[in-house]
Structure formats: C-alpha cells, structure tokens
Homo-oligomer: A and B are copies of this chain.
Amino acid sequence: MTTEDKIIEAAETEMLECGYDAARMRSIAEKAEINKGLLHYYFKSKEALLTRVFQKTFSEIFKTLGEVFESDKPFFEKIELAVNQYSNFLIRHPRLPLFIISEMNRDPAKHRARMKKAGVNPPFGGLLKELEEGKKKGLVRKDLKAEHVVLNMIGLIMFPIIAKPMVMFMNDLNLADYKQLLHDRKKIVSEILINDIKAK
C-alpha cells in the first residue's frame, strides 16, 4: 500500500469518526503512521485532502446504489437486490451512515454544498420510476406513497448498523452473532418491503 493510500484511508477513518470539521490533520497523520510534514507534502491543505476523501466515499456508495436499478430483473427481485447490496455496503462501511446523518443535522446547507462540490447525488430516481410503472402494471399497490418506501427501506436497513452497541447489548450477542443478525436481516427486510409494496 502506497503512502498516499494510507493517507486517504486514515483520513476517511478520521472524517467518519470525528466529522468533517472536527477531523484533525494531526490524527490523520498518526493514523497513517506518518508525520504532519509528509501529510502536507501529499495534500497541500486539509480542505484539499478532505474534499477528495468525501468525493471518493460518496461516489462509491452512490454508484453501488445506482447500479442496483439498472439490471433487467423483475421489480421485486430488484428490491431484494437493492436491499442486499445496500446492506452489504453498510456492513462494509458501518460508520458512514452516522457521519452523513450527523453532518446533515449539524449544518444542512454546508453538507449539501459539499455534496454539490464533490458532484455526488443520491440515485433514488430509478426506484421512484419503477414504482410508478409498477402501479400502472398492477404489480404495486395504487395508494402506496413512494417517499415512504424510501424511508422504510433506509430505516430498516440502517438502524441496526448505527445502533450496533445497543443491538449487541440488548440481545447479549457477540460479534459473530451480530454479524449473523445483520445477514439474516436482509431477507427479513426484503420481505417486509415487498409485502408492503405488492398489490393485494
């Protein structure tokens, strides 16, 4: 792994742990096991570094989410696929959701400005379009509200990730049990969502 990679990785960890503004160049250097001088040799300023990290992180998650609805599978299989892909992504990046939510609440305008600057956008258009088509085809409940489908999906998937300590403690799970629970949950969540969407 190159020094630059180590820096990017350390900066990502730091940013997700502490938030954008509270991220410290000192701790990034420490995490990357280099010194502050070298850090500034690779990235001329904190802004330059974090902009890059922010961009990389978000385009990764949005790409994953975007690809989900581009396959040509049946709609309900796509839901299942979306749940699986999104869950897997968050399992790999467990600190991301809390970071987004915190930043968004701390200063919504600044957060959106950063999103804009990084040129990243959440890809929910695909889901919304297919829901409309599904209604026409009679697959989808006519009175279903699209915005709630999105909220249901994200809430059901995200909560056990951001509440990991609570989940483990309340159910007295070790790490392996917890991972198993997250794994089991993909099917459970898919079923709940599809059940809710499906025309009766």
* A interface residues (Cβ-Cβ under 8 A, vs B): 98, 101-102, 104-105, 108, 111-112, 122, 124, 145, 147-148, 150-152, 154-160, 162-167, 169-171, 181, 184-185, 188, 191-192, 195-196
Give the Cβ gap from A61 to chain B, nearest Cβ, in Å: 14
Copies per complex? 2
Q: Check if B108 sits within 8 Å of A152, measured CB to CB.
A: no
Q: Which of B98, B108, B111, B158 is the one whose CB lies under 8 Å from A159?
A: B158
Q: Check if B124 sits within 8 Å of A163, measured CB to CB.
A: no
A163 CB contacts on chain B under 8 angstroms: 101, 104, 151, 154
Whole-angstrom CA separation of A152 from B154 in the bound complex: 11
A111 CB contacts on chain B under 8 angstroms: 165
Whole-angstrom CA separation of A101 from B150 in the bound complex: 21
Whole-angstrom CA separation of A188 from B160 in the bound complex: 20
A148 CB contacts on chain B under 8 angstroms: 184-185, 188
Give the Cβ gap from A14 to chain B, nearest Cβ, in Å: 14
A166 CB contacts on chain B under 8 angstroms: 104
Give the Cβ gap from A87 to chain B, nearest Cβ, in Å: 12
Give the Cβ gap from A184 to chain B, nearest Cβ, in Å: 8
Closest B residue, CB atoms, query A108: B165
